[in-house]
Amino acid sequence: MNPQSHSAALRGPRPRFLFGGTAGTNRIARALLALGLAALLCLPACSFTPNEAESASSRNETAAEAASHLAFRTDEKLQQHFEKHGRETGCATAEEYLAAANAVIADPASLHKLQAEDGDDLYFLERTGEFVVVSPAGYIRTYYLTDRNYFDRQ
């Protein structure tokens, strides 16, 4: 076997290109395909409105409205948690406590993660230390103050 055929055998078969072109056109084709897929994936989340500022404010209102529907499973549970954590969170009433928990959930600056063991949604607002737990059924379990290390360990 001559040296040239030996090195060709080590390299294996010649690469196939997506559109039968060169390596450069293949990269371009893949990039265009990726852009097209990205655009398709973005479409459901994107909406066009002529006034971008108006659009941003309406999205924030929608998030706040959705969050305002979250509640504790019962009024009794809300009252128990308010009595336990209301003072530390600076809330004077159970209604303020509930509204403050919903504000953390709706705040885009809140960190969010899913707790693996029971599927709870955890929200943590780092600048204030506020922490909210929401059950998989959509009920607020608790709201209190803690630190980032606690949130990270959950």
The string of pLDDT tens digits covering residues 103-131 is: 999 999 999 999 988 999 999 999 999 99
Mean pLDDT over the full length of the chain: 73
φ/ψ (deg, to 5) at 3: -60, -35
Residue matched to tokens 């990270």: 152
Higher pLDDT, 87 or 16: 87
What is the pLDDT, as a whole number, of residue 1? 53
Residue matched to tokens 């090195």: 7
Arithmetic mean of pLDDT, 53-67: 42
Asked if the model's pLDDT at residue 32 lies above 90, the reply is no
φ/ψ (deg, to 5) at 37: -65, -40
pTM above threshold 0.85: no
What is the pLDDT, as a whole number, of residue 48? 34
Residue 89 CB contacts under 8 Å (≥ 6 apart), including other chains: 97, 100, 130, 143, 144, 145
